[in-house]
Structure 1
C-alpha cells in the first residue's frame, strides 16, 4: 500500500509567489530486486507564469517526480513521502477523488509520446471534449466548440474537419499539437511538459516550443518542462533544476546554470552537448561511466564514482557525506566556491567555446 505522509521538518516555501511547492519529496518503488529510490529528497518551487526546466539523464527521476505531482504513481507498489502544495492544496495526502478534480482542470500534462497517450479507438475531438464536459459541466455542443477553438489555437488546419479524425490520421507534429490542445482545454494553472518535442524534427520542434511560450503568455500558466536537451531548455525555461540519481544537484536561473555552471555533473552535460556555433570537428567530452543503480545508490555524493574532480576534495567527503543543496542558486557539491571557479575557467570553459 502507498504510504502518504508529510515531512514534519520540511523547510517552508521560499515565498508567496510559489504556485507549486515541492518539499523533501521521496518516491520509492518495491520490486523483486529491492526498493528503488526513484526520487530522494527533492525540493523546488514554480511561480505563476514561469517555466521551470528539469534536466538530467534517463533514470534521474524527472518523469517520476511529475507523475507523482499528478498522482499518477502506482499506489500498489510505490511509497510517497514529503510535501507537494499546489496553490495552497496539499496533494500528497489528497484523495483520488480530489486529484481527479484537479487533473485536466487545474493541472495537466503533455506526454512525451502522443501516439500512446491518445486512445486509437476514439476521435481526437471526443478525447478533447470529454474532460471539458466533466470538469466544466459543459454540453456536447459547448465542448465541441471549445475543442475546435483549441485545435485552431494550436495550429491544426481545418479544425472542424479534423475534430472527427482519429489519432492515426494526424502526423506526429499534429498529434503533439492535439495533446497540447487537450492539456489546455480547461485553462490549467500548471502545465507539465514531459519531453514533448523528443520525437519531432527540428522545424516542428521549434514550432511547438514557440507555441508553448505563446500559450503560456496568453494563459499565464506555470510550466514544468522536462528534457535532456540543454539547447531546448535555454529557449524555454526561466529557472533550471539539474537532477541526478533522484536528487537535485544544481539549481538557479537558466542563465546562471548554463553560463556559470558549478556542479561537475552540469559541466559534463554541457561538455557532451554539440554546439551550432562551434567548429565541425569539435570534440565532445562524454561523461564517463553510467548512471548509478537506484536499487543500491552510492554513498555520499551520488555522482562521485563518475566525477573527474573528486580528488580535489580532501579526505572521504565525496564518498561518505551527501552534499546538501541550499535554497536559491546552489549546488550539491563538496568543492569549494574557489575550486569550482578555477576548474570551470581553466578546464571546462575552453571546451564550451
Structure 2
C-alpha cells in the first residue's frame, strides 16, 4: 500500500483537522476478468460526535470504503492508494499490529448481518468480553462484568443469564443489539455501522436507531452510517455523502442534500422512494438502467448513461469529461447551478411533495 501526496485533484481539509480524514482513496481489486475500481478518488471527513451518512446503490463502494478504513481488505488481491488519517495517525501504511490495536478499541464496526458476524461456536457473552480483555488487559471476571453491563445498556433482558447464550438463541434484533454492545464495549472514538438495520422489521429498526443515537450522546463517538435507505439517514446523520460507482457525487448536510439536492443521481434516489402520506397507488419514478460495471466504467461522468439531463450540457461534456467534487456543499455534475435549481424546482420537487 502507498500513501499519496496531496495534488490539485485531492481537496485539502478546511478548518480544524477532522477526527477521520480520507483523501483521494482508491481501492482496486484484481479478478479473473480484470481490475475492479471499487473506490475511485474518494475524499470525506468525519468530526467527533457527529454522524456521516453514506448512501448509494449496492456496488457503489460504501462497504469497501469502510472495510479499507479498518484495514480489512486483502493486500494480496487489492491495492490501496490515498490517505486515511484517524486522529492524526496515517493508516494506509500502518503495520498490521498497529491496526489490530485500533480495531475494536479506537474504531469499531457493526456489521450488516450479525448472524454471520457472530461465531456460532462461542457464547454471545464471551464474544463481547473478548475485545475488552484484549485491549484493556482486564481479567475474565472484569470482562464478564463489563459485558453484562453492556448487554444491559443495549436493552437485552436478564443480561446475566443471556451472557451464556449462543447466537442462535437470540432473535435478529437481539443479535444486532449484541453486536452493538461488542462494538461499544471499549468506548471507541469512531463507530462504523454498515447497514445495521437491513434485516430487521420496522419496529426493531426504530429501536436500534434510537439506541445508537442515545449511545452516541453518552460516549461521544463519531459514526459512519452506511445505508441505501434515505428515510433512515434523515433521522440519523448530520452530514451526507452520496456515492455512485466508487465515487462521491454529492455531499452536504443532511438537510441540504435531502431538501435541495443538486445531483441527478440524488434526484433519482429521492424520486424512487414512496412519499410519507402520499397516495398508496402513486407510481414511483425509478432510475433508468443499471449501475455500471466497475471493471469497465463509462468515460466522463459515471452516471451519464442513466441520466436524463445530459442533453442540457453542451459539447458532450457528460460523456467526455469527469466532473470533480469541490470541497464543502457540492455535487459532481456538469449542469450549471442555475440549471440544477430550475430542474429541481420544476421537475423534481413536485414528485417529492
Q: Which residue of 1 aligns with 2:5?
A: 7
Per-residue deviation, 1:60: 0.2
CA distance in 2, matches of 1:333, 1:11: 17
In the alignment, structure 2 segments of 5+ residues that lack a partner are: none
The 8 Å contact of residues 28 and 36 in structure 2, kept in 1 or not, is answered as yes
Q: Which residue of 2 aligns with 1:27?
A: 27
Tell me the residue number matched to 1:149: 149
1:247 aligns with 2:247: yes
Q: CA deviation at 1:313?
A: 0.3
Matched residue pairs, number? 351
Match of 2:168 in 1: 168
Q: CA deviation at 1:17?
A: 5.0
Stretches (4+) displaced over 2 A: 3-15
Contact 2:11–2:327 under 8 Å retained in 1: no
2:66 aligned residue: 66
Task: Within 5 Å, give how 1:42-57 maps onto structure 2.
Answer: 42-57=42-57
The structural deviation recorded for 1:15 is 2.5
Aligned twin of 1:202: 202
Question: 1:294-337 CA distances to partner (integer Å, 9 max, x unpaired)?
Answer: 00000000000000001000111000000000000000000000
1:4 shift after superposition: 2.5
Matches within 5 A, 1:258-277: 258-277=258-277
**Contact kept? 1:26, 1:82, Cα under 8 Å:** yes
Output the CA distance in 1 between the equivalents of 2:351 and 2:297.
30
Aligned residue number for residue 281 of structure 2: 281
Find the counterpart in structure 2 of residue 348 from structure 1: 348
Q: 1:183-212: per-residue Cα shift (whole Å, max 9, x none)?
A: 001000000000000000000000000000
The answer on whether the counterparts of 1:238 and 1:254 sit within 8 Å (CA) in structure 2 is yes
DSSP-derived class of the 2:76 partner: coil
User: 2:6–2:12: 8 Å Cα contact kept in structure 1?
Assistant: no
TM-score normalised per structure 2: 0.98
Q: Distance in 2 between matches of 1:13 and 1:132?
A: 34
8 Å Cα contact 1:60-1:244 kept in structure 2: yes
Helix, strand or coil for the counterpart of 2:19?
strand
Between the aligned partners of 2:5 and 2:227, the Cα distance in structure 1 is 28
1:222-271 deviations in whole A, cap 9, x for unaligned?
Answer: 00000000000000000000000000000000000000001000000000
* Matches of 1:7 and 1:76, distance apart in 2: 23
Give the structure 1 partner of residue 85 of structure 2. Answer: 85
Structure 1: gaps (5+ residues): none
| Aligned partners of 2:11 and 2:326 also within 8 Å | no
Q: Distance in 2 between matches of 1:33 and 1:187?
A: 42
State the Cα deviation string for residues 51-98 of structure 1 (Å, max 9, x = none). Answer: 000000000000000000000001110000000000011010100000
SS at match of 2:191: strand
Distance in structure 2 (CA, Å) of the matches to 1:55 and 1:165:
35
Please show how residues 293-312 of structure 1 align to structure 2 within 5 Å: 293-312=293-312
RMSD between aligned alpha carbons? 0.7
Contact 1:51–1:224 (8 Å) recurs in 2: yes
